[in-house]
Amino acid sequence: MTSISPPATKVWWKEPIAKGELIWISVVVVWGIILTLMMPFWHIYGEQNLSSEAYRTTPENYMEKTQAMVDQYTIRKEGERQVPVVKPPAGIDIYMVGRLWEWWPILELKKDETYRLHVASIDWQHGFSLQPTNLNVQVLPGYDMVLTVTPNKTGKHTVVCNEYCGIGHHNMLGTIYVVE
What pLDDT is recorded for position 44? 79
Assign residue 111 the CATH number of its domain: 2.60.40.420
Are 156 and 175 in contact by the 8 Å Cβ rule? The answer is yes
My answer on whether 36 and 113 are in the same domain is no
DSSP 141: B
Residues of the chain with pLDDT under 70: 1-3, 6-9, 47-51
Are 175 and 106 in contact by the 8 Å Cβ rule? The answer is yes
Bond from prior residue into 31 cis (ω within 30 degrees of 0) = no
Give DSSP secondary structure letters for 80-116.
TTTEEEE-PPTTSEEEEEEETTEEESEEEEETT--EE
My answer on whether 39 and 105 are in the same domain is no
What pLDDT is recorded for position 11? 76
How far the first Cα of the chain sits from its last, in Å, is 66
My answer on whether 93 and 11 are in the same domain is no
Domain that holds residue 117: 53-179
My answer on whether 100 and 147 are in the same domain is yes
What pLDDT is recorded for position 43? 77
Q: Please count the structural domains in the chain.
A: 2
My answer on whether 92 and 166 are in the same domain is yes
What pLDDT is recorded for position 136? 87
DSSP 52: -
What pLDDT is recorded for position 73? 96
Strands (E) located in 32-166: 53-56, 74-78, 83-86, 93-99, 102-104, 106-110, 115-121, 126-131, 135-139, 143-149, 155-161
Report pTM: 0.74
